[in-house]
Chain A
Amino acid sequence: MMEILKKLKILADSAKYDVSCSSSGSKRTNQTGGLGNSASSGICHTWTADGRCISLLKILQSNNCVYNCSYCVNRVSNDLPRATLTPDELCDLTINFYRRNYIEGLFLSTAICKTPDHTMEMLLQTVKKLRKEHNFHGYIHLKAIPGADNLLIEAAGKYVDRMSVNIELPSERGLRLLAPQKKHEAIIKPMNFLTSNIAAGKAERRKSRKAPLFVPAGQTTQLIVGATSDPDLQILKLSENMYKRFGLKRVYYSAYVPVSHHPHLPDISSPPLLREHRIYQADWLLRFYGFKADELLDDKNPNFAEDYDPKTDWALRNLDYFPVEINRADYEKLLRVPGIGVKSARKILTARRMHSLDFEDLKRIGITMKRAQYFITCKGKYSGPTAMEEHLLRPRLTLLPPHTAGPEQPSLFSFSSDVIAPEDAFTSVSGEI
C-alpha cells in the first residue's frame, strides 16, 4: 500500500507540468452496463491550489527515462527518485478514482523506458486492460511515443479517445540543442500516421455505426514556451500550420518551468506565465475568430505585447476597421470587436432578430461593454467615453495592473501569477476575448 502511495506521488509529480487536461469531445457511451462514459462537454472534478482544473488522472506510467532532454526533470542525468507502475496497478487506481467520481478518465503519459517500442507496448497493455478486463468506458488520453512501431500506435488507438504526440519545442534547432535524442521527423511521423488513421476511422464510421472507434476525440500536441529563443510569431505559425496539416484538436502551451541550469536554457527564476497566457489567447483567435497568425504578429513585432490582449492589440493597430455597427455587422465582423467573444456574438445575433439593439439592450443581454464600447456603434451611435483615436484609447485599455505600469516595468520573465489582471486572466481559459 505505502508502495503505491510513494509511486503515485513520484509519477504524478513528474506529470503535472503536462498542461493538456481537457476531456471533452468524445462520444463513448456505456452500452454494456459497465463503468463510465464520456461527457461531450468537459467536466472539471477539482481545482489545484494554483487554480488549474483537474479532470483526468494525469500520470506517468514510468519516469525512468533513458533520454536526457535538458528542460525535463526526468532526464536520465537528473538525480531523482524513480518509479514505474504496472498496468494492473494503474488500472486499479483509475477504476477506483473513477468510481468515486474523482476523475473523468485517465491521461497516461510516460518517460522512455529502455526503447520507444518497449514503452509503447507498456502503455498499450494498460489501456487494453482497462477496456477489455475492466469494461471501462471512461475517457482515455494516451501519449503516442515517437519512434515506436506504427502497429503499436495503431493498436492503442483502438482503445483510447485521444492521442497526442508532443512537439515539445517550436523549432528543430531547439530540439537539437536541448533534446538531442529526439528527432523532428520522429515526432512528425506518428502525427501524420494518426491524422490519416483518424480520417480513415471517421470514414468507416460514416459507412457503419458499428465500425470500431479510432481516437474519436482526435489528436493534440503540446509545446514548451520560453525554453528556446523562438519568438511568439514562430510558435503561432507553427500552431496554425499544425491545425491545418494535421487537423489537431488543440495545441497546448506550457510555460517553461526552470528545472535545471544548462548553457542552452534561459536563466529565469519563474515560468513565463504571461507569455503563455497571451499565446493561449491568440490560439483561440486562430481557431474560433478567423484570425491569421500574420495579422496578429509580424517580423517587426514578433512577440505579443504585455499590456494588451492580442485582439485589443490588433484592433488598436487597425482602427480603420472600426466602429462596427452592432445591428448590421455579420458574425465574423462582430468577432473582431475586443470584448465580444463567441458567446456574446451569438447572443447579439439572436437578440437582434427581435428588434434592433441599443447600448442598454446590450448590457441587459449580458455583453460586457468595458472594452467593446470603444469599437462599436448601436443604430449609428457611438458612445465610447472618448474619441476613437489610438493615443486616447491606449491608456484606457491597458491590462497592466496599475502598480506595475511605469518606467521600470519588470521583464516578461519575471511575471508571477498574480500579475495577470483578473479581467484578463480568465480569457485564455474561457476563450471569450
Chain B
Amino acid sequence: MLDFVYDGSFNGLLTAIYEIYYRRQVPQQLLSRSSQTPKLFVREERIITDETKAGKVYEAIDNKISSRSLRHIYYAYLSEHMEAGIWIYHYLHLGWKLGNKLDLLLSDERVHRIHRLSQKVSMERHRLLGLLRFQLLRGNIYYAALEPDHNIVELLAPHFAARMADQNWVIHDVSRDLAAVFNRKEWLATDFTRQHRLELLKEEEYYQQLWQEYYNSMAISSRINPRLQKRCMPQRYWKHLVEMS
C-alpha cells in the first residue's frame, strides 16, 4: 500500500492530486506530514510541491466543476482532518464526471463528507468572528490570540481588515505559530511566535474590567443554564475570552 505525503500547503495538496492522475496510482492516504508511527506494509512517497501542476488542478476545478466546489475543497483542506486529502481526491474524481452538479449530490458520502468538513470550518470561522478578543498593546497594536480547531486565521483576516480598518492588528494562532498582520492598509499571513510577554497599555485593563462587569451583569440569575451556555460557546474557546477568565 501507498501513502502520498505533501508539505502541508494547499498547493502541495493540489500537486499530489495532479500526481495521482499523472501516475495513474491512487494512494491509500494523502497526508500533510509523515505519520508518526511507521506503518507496516505502507510505503510513503514524498510529493514535491509544484506551482504549475497545482495551478492546473486549481484551474480545472474552477472551470470544469465550480468555484463553489473549489471553496468547499479549500475549507475542507483547512479543517486539517487526517483524511481530508484523500476525501478531496474522491470528491474531485466524482466531480470530473458531474461537473457543476457535483454539490447537488448531497446523499453521496463522497460529497457529503467534504461538505461536512467545509461546514465545520465555516462554522468555526463564524464563531470566531465573534469570539476573537483584541487587547491593546504598547505601540498601539491590537493583538488577538486564538487556538482554533481548524486553520482559519486567513479566513478571519478579511473580515477584520474591513471592520477594524483604522487599527493596527495581529491575529495570532498560538497553536500553529501563524498570524495575520494588518497595517491599516493590507493584511498578510506570516509565521509568528511571540517572543516576550504582552505589554498591555494601561487603559486596556480598564476596558477589560468594564467588559467583565458588563458581561456579568447581563446574566439573568433566575435563568442560569450552564449547559446551554457551553453548548453555544464551547469551553475550549474560553481561555482567550476576557470575560471568562
- A39 near B129 (CB under 8 angstroms)? yes
Contact A364 B109 (CB under 8 A): yes
Segment among B10-18, B72-80, B203-211 that sits at the interface with chain A: B203-211
- In the complex, A44 Cα to B135 Cα: how many Å? 19
Nearest residue, chain B, Cβ from A97 = B211
Contact with A along B117-129 (1 / 0, CB 8 A): 0000000001001
Residues of chain A within 8 A (CB-CB) of B166 are 33-35, 135
CA distance A5 to B206 in the complex (A): 9
Taken residue by residue from 80 to 110, chain B's Cβ proximity to chain A (1 for < 8 Å, 0 otherwise) reads as 0000000000000000000001001111010
**B106 and A51 form a contact (CB under 8 A):** no
Say if the beta carbon of A303 comes within 8 Å of chain B.
Answer: no
Q: Helix, strand, loop or mixed for chain A's interface?
A: loop
Interface status of B142 (Cβ within 8 A of chain A):
yes
Q: Please name all residues of chain B whose beta carbon is closer than 8 Å to the beta carbon of A35 when the two chains form the complex.
A: 163-167
Is there contact, CB below 8 Å, between A257 and B222? yes
Q: Are B163 and A49 in contact (CB under 8 A)?
A: no
Q: Is the CB of B144 within 8 A of A97?
A: no
Question: Once bound together, how far apart are the Cα atoms of A100 and B223, in whole Å?
Answer: 28
Q: Chain B contacts of A33 at CB under 8 A?
A: 165-166, 184
Cβ-neighbour of B225 out of A37, A50, A53, A135 (below 8 A): A50
**Per-residue interface assignment for chain B, residues 125 to 149, with 1 indicating a CB less than 8 Å from any chain A CB and 0 otherwise:** 0100111111110000010100000
CB-CB under 8 A for A100 and B142, given A47-B232, A270-B222, A354-B101 = yes
Contacts of B126 in A (CB 8 A): 41, 43
Q: Which positions 402-424 of chain A face chain B at CB distance < 8 Å? A: 416-418
Q: How far is the CA of A81 from the CA of B167 in the complex (A)?
A: 37
Determine whether the beta carbon of B167 is less than 8 Å from that of A45: no
Residue in B closest to A50 when the chains form the complex, CB atoms: B223
B95 to chain A, nearest CB (A): 14
Chain A contacts of B209 at CB under 8 A?
Answer: 5
Chain A 357-386 interface 0/1 with B at a Cβ cutoff of 8 Å (1 = within):
100110011000000000000000000000
Q: A1-B206, A35-B164 are in contact. Are A46 and B225 (CB under 8 A)?
A: no
Is A393 in contact with chain B by the CB < 8 A criterion?
no
Please tell me which one of the listed residues B136, B184, B229 contacts residue A100 in the complex, with CB atoms under 8 A apart: B136
Interface mask (A40-68 → B, CB under 8 Å = 1, otherwise 0): 01011111111111110111000000000
B229 near A12 with CB under 8 A, answer no
* Given A1-B206, A9-B213, A46:B104 Cβ within 8 A: no
Chain B, 209-237, CB within 8 A of any chain A CB? 209-211, 213-215, 217-220, 222-229, 231-233
Q: Is the Cβ of A8 less than 8 Å from the Cβ of B163?
A: no
B162 within 8 A of A: yes
User: What residues of chain B lie closer than 8 Å to A155, measured between beta carbons?
Assistant: none
Majority SS at the chain B contact face: helix
Q: Which of B133, B218, B226, B227 is the one whose CB lies under 8 Å from A101?
A: B133
Q: How far is the CA of A308 from the CA of B9 in the complex (A)?
A: 51
Question: Are B163 and A100 in contact, with the CB atoms below 8 A?
Answer: no
Nearest chain-B residue to A355 (Cβ)? B107
In this complex, the member of B104, B109, B223, B226 whose beta carbon has the largest number of chain A beta carbons within 10 angstroms is B223
Distance (whole angstroms) from the CB of A231 to the closest CB of chain B: 24
Contacts of A53 in B (CB 8 A): 232
The answer to whether B218 and A16 touch across the interface, beta carbons within 8 angstroms, is yes
A407 → chain B, closest Cβ, in Å? Answer: 27
**Known: A43-B126, A100-B135, A100-B136. Is A365-B107 also a contact (CB below 8 A)?**
yes
B112: interface (CB < 8 Å): yes
Note all chain A residues with C-beta closer than 8 A to B242: 100, 102
In the docked arrangement, what's the CA distance between A94 and B151, Å? Answer: 31
B210, A5: Cβ atoms closer than 8 Å = yes
Question: Could you tell me if A36 and B163 are in contact, using CB atoms closer than 8 angstroms?
Answer: yes
Bound-state Cα–Cα, A12 to B219, Å: 10
Inter-subunit contact B223/A101 (CB<8 Å) = no
Measured in the bound complex, the distance between the Cα atoms of B106 and A281 in whole Å is: 28
Determine whether the beta carbon of B213 is less than 8 Å from that of A350.
no
Partner of A99, one of B105, B164, B217, B244: B164
A262 on the B face (CB < 8 A): no
Q: Do B112 and A350 have beta carbons less than 8 Å apart?
A: no
B241 contacts A by Cβ under 8 Å: yes
What residues of chain A lie closer than 8 Å to B232, measured between beta carbons?
44, 47, 51, 53
Selected from B104, B109, B136, B164, the residue in CB contact (under 8 A) with A353 is B104
A8-29: which have CB < 8 Å to B? 8-9, 12-13, 16-17, 29
* In contact, B165 and A30 (Cβ under 8 angstroms): yes
| Cβ of B237 to closest chain A Cβ, rounded Å | 10
Determine whether A226 belongs to the interface, using a CB cutoff of 8 Å to chain B. no
Q: How far is the CB of A195 from chain B (nearest CB, A)?
A: 31
**Nearest neighbor of B215 in chain A, beta-carbon distance:** A46
Q: List 6 A-B contacts (CB under 8 A).
A: A30-B163, A39-B159, A49-B224, A99-B134, A360-B107, A365-B106
Leading 8 A-B pairs by shortest Cβ distance: A51-B228, A50-B223, A361-B107, A49-B219, A365-B106, A45-B130, A48-B219, A351-B106
Other A-B pairs, 19, CB within 8 Å; known A16-B217, A35-B163, A99-B164: A1-B206, A5-B213, A9-B213, A12-B214, A33-B165, A33-B166, A36-B164, A50-B223, A50-B228, A97-B214, A100-B133, A100-B142, A100-B207, A100-B242, A101-B160, A354-B104, A364-B106, A417-B224, A418-B227
* Residues of A in contact with B (beta carbons under 8 Å apart): 1, 4-5, 8-9, 12-13, 16-17, 29-30, 33-37, 39, 41, 43-55, 57-59, 93, 96-97, 99-102, 104, 135, 257, 270-271, 273, 347, 350-351, 353-354, 357, 360-361, 364-365, 416-418, 425
